[in-house]
Structure 1
Amino acid sequence: MADKPSRALVIFGDGLARSVDQSHIHLHALASLSSCGFLSLPNAPPSDCREEKRMIRELALLFDVNKSGDGCEGISQRKSIPERFMGMRAALLTNNSSVQYLGSELGISSLRLDELMQMNHLGLPPVDFLASELLKKLGFQDGKIQDTSEFDLLFVHIGVGDEDKTASDEMKFIDALVGDILEKTRPGSEIGSRLHLSLLMSYGHVFKDDESSLSVLTSKGVQNSDLSVLFPRQSYTMMGEVLRTDVRHHSPMLAAQWQYGVTRKDKAESFSFKEFKEQGCNLVIPADRFIHEVAFKLWKAPKYGA
């Protein structure tokens, strides 16, 4: 735990996990510094066949709000994000109008990425401009930490729903953005010890083969064994003392988290499912616990995972 509250930047590649390859060197560099693992998701309802419905449902899980119905309808949360997390000032940055609407339902600011990019009046390279603007909004400017900041948490949503860009385009952009942020917050810098950086990647819609190729289960055949009752439940399958009944044991979100001098470094050397499963130290946590983990780093939650 840091001696001062952190400020958090979350970059979410929505539905882009299958597009990560060896050319994305900055994603792999981040993974090699980070604490890596998985965020488990529930099984999708039968009606969840449209990309937009899946996207909103999974984003709602990351912010730990109950979600049902079409689009953003059915968001069930009596308190806003600031009310739930000690006044945490958060913003959701996206080009997707449905995701923007979700942000308003959560009681947080919604900013359009394309409109932010249009403020680049000095003609800086797009990625360099965006990285600088994101850090500035978190109170980091010119390599220094400002006493105050506009936001405590920025959640950047980049997904396959943008019709003007391919998954390959989006991945190149995310990789470059991560690289620029790593350069600006390199170990030993003033910013590095105060910025909590998370990179999330989801698989989007899943396929039958994913049940075996992307399974997070560590043991095979245990459920068919007479000794299965002797094996403890993994924590991601529980909510307190109650068993979660709709856990999906495959196609989780990939999550790498880094803050210099604060997060643990595991043995993962690349941003991939196989590497996270074999070398990651965070194993599997439910996706709806993610916001709580981040809020704890910001001193906006009383304890880890609360």
Structure 2
Amino acid sequence: MADKPSKALVLYGDGLPRFVHSSHTHLHSFASKASCGFLTLPNAPPSEGEDERSVREFAVLLDACQACLNMIGHTSELECQEKSVIPTLSDRFMGMRAALITNNSMMKSFGGKLGFTTLQLNELSGTNDSLAELSIDVLASELLKLLGFQDGKMVEACQYDLVFLHIGAGEKMVHERQKAVANDVEYINSLVGGIMQIAQPGSEVGSRLHLSVLMSYGCVSEADDSDLSVLISTDEKNSFLSKLIPHQSYTMKGENPRNDVRHHCPMLIAQWQYAVTRKDMAEKFSFKDFKEHGGNLVIPADRFLYEVAFKLWKAPKYGA
């Protein structure tokens, strides 16, 4: 735990892990310094659209699933009226100020309902540039400026405690997505490199910035993605002790089992803050390396924001 509250930047790559390869050296370098693991998601409802999936998974990260169901019409009007008003992030986390940067209009609308200040990438840069045309140096600098970091120093009058940047193919047509996603991975790789260049170990930025890089698999199929499961296989169990293996903690909520846990295709997460986060043995930003060498193992995705809020001194205890 740092001796001062941190500021958090979350880079969320929506549907990107399959496109990470060996040339994305900044992502792999970041993973080698970070604490790595997985965030499990619930199963997708039937006939879910791509934008609905993006919003739902984002809602899970914020532990705001009911708000998401209300928004996309999976609960009746009467049920919505019976539910209490969904509190904002500021209400839930001791006045936390948060910004969401996304070009996905549905996610932008949802974020606004939860109290995020919502921006598009071109609003951040002050230009009409697309993602591919935005300068990495400009974007890295502007993201850190929102958190109060200017010229390598922390200023008192900052706008936000948390900035959430969502990068993904989003509303593009199906035939455009593969090329778009490949470009998005390249961009987030370069952005990680640009931010880490500023947040050098021992610098004021490095000691106060809590950086998370998340990547979700997007639409998935258990049959096609069985090799991306976090379950302990029968081959890894000792047959004499197999009956003594308890439920893994990510399958529980308090004393009760979680009824809806997707064991395949979890989100990949790597987190770093100089002298605050632990370093594990992972060397690559990949499912295989995180499973074999990651230190965070598996936690439910709805616990993510609570962990980050604790680092910002906006939650009373870790994982609260």
Where does the alignment leave 5 or more consecutive residues of structure 1 unmatched?
none
Q: Which moved further from structure 2: 236-245 or 206-215?
A: 206-215
Does the residue aligned with 1:166 lie in a helix, a strand or coil? helix
Distance 2:241 2:28 in 1: 39
Runs ≥4 in structure 1, deviation > 6 angstroms?
Answer: none
Alignment pair present for 1:213 and 2:227: yes
1:249: Cα distance to partner?
A: 0.8
Contact 2:125 2:134 in 1 (8 A): no
1:72: Cα distance to partner?
A: 4.0
**Cα deviation digits, residues 222-262 of structure 1 (max 9, x gap):** 99x79654211111001111100111111000000000000
Give the structure 2 partner of residue 231 of structure 1: 245
**Cα deviation digits, residues 9-62 of structure 1 (max 9, x gap):** 0000001111111111100010000000000011111232x1111111100000
1:71: Cα distance to partner?
A: 6.0
Does the residue aligned with 2:64 lie in a helix, a strand or coil? coil
Contact 1:222 1:228 in 2 (8 A): no
**Cα deviation digits, residues 99-152 of structure 1 (max 9, x gap):** 11011111111111122223499xx96111010001011000001111231000
Query: 1:35 corresponds to which letter in structure 2?
Result: S
Alignment pair present for 1:194 and 2:208: yes
Distance 2:224 2:269 in 1: 18
Aligned pairs (5 A) from 1:1-306 = 1-48=1-48, 50-67=49-66, 69=69, 72-73=72-73, 78-119=86-127, 126-163=135-172, 166-220=180-234, 228-306=242-320
Distance 1:222 1:186 in 2: 40
Q: Which moved further from structure 2: 228-237 or 24-33?
A: 228-237
Query: 1:106 corresponds to which letter in structure 2?
Result: L
Distance 1:285 1:82 in 2: 24
Contact 1:26 1:179 in 2 (8 A): yes
Contact 1:72 1:101 in 2 (8 A): no
Query: 1:110 corresponds to which letter in structure 2?
Result: T
Does the residue aligned with 2:39 lie in a helix, a strand or coil? strand
Distance 1:183 1:292 in 2: 27
Does the residue aligned with 1:150 lie in a helix, a strand or coil? coil
Which structure shows the bigger proportion of residues in helix conformation?
2
**Cα deviation digits, residues 274-298 of structure 1 (max 9, x gap):** 0000000000000000000000000
Query: 2:101 corresponds to which letter in structure 1?
Result: L
Distance 1:115 1:189 in 2: 28
Distance 1:170 1:222 in 2: 36
Does the residue aligned with 1:191 lie in a helix, a strand or coil? helix
Distance 2:229 2:248 in 1: 14
Over 3 Å counting, the alpha-carbon distance change for 1:27 and 1:12 in structure 2 is: same
Does the residue aligned with 1:151 lie in a helix, a strand or coil? coil
Over 3 Å counting, the alpha-carbon distance change for 1:222 and 1:244 in structure 2 is: farther
Contact 1:52 1:71 in 2 (8 A): no
Distance 2:290 2:122 in 1: 32
1:219: Cα distance to partner?
A: 3.4
Distance 1:70 1:210 in 2: 31
Contact 2:125 2:142 in 1 (8 A): no
Return the TM-score normalized by structure 2: 0.89
**Cα deviation digits, residues 134-172 of structure 1 (max 9, x gap):** 101100000111123100000000012153761111111
Distance 2:111 2:122 in 1: 17
Distance 1:32 1:208 in 2: 29
Contact 2:122 2:128 in 1 (8 A): no
Distance 1:88 1:269 in 2: 33
Contact 1:95 1:114 in 2 (8 A): no
Aligned length: 302
1:80: Cα distance to partner?
A: 0.8
Query: 1:11 corresponds to which letter in structure 2?
Result: L
| Percent of pairs with identical residues | 59
Contact 1:31 1:270 in 2 (8 A): yes
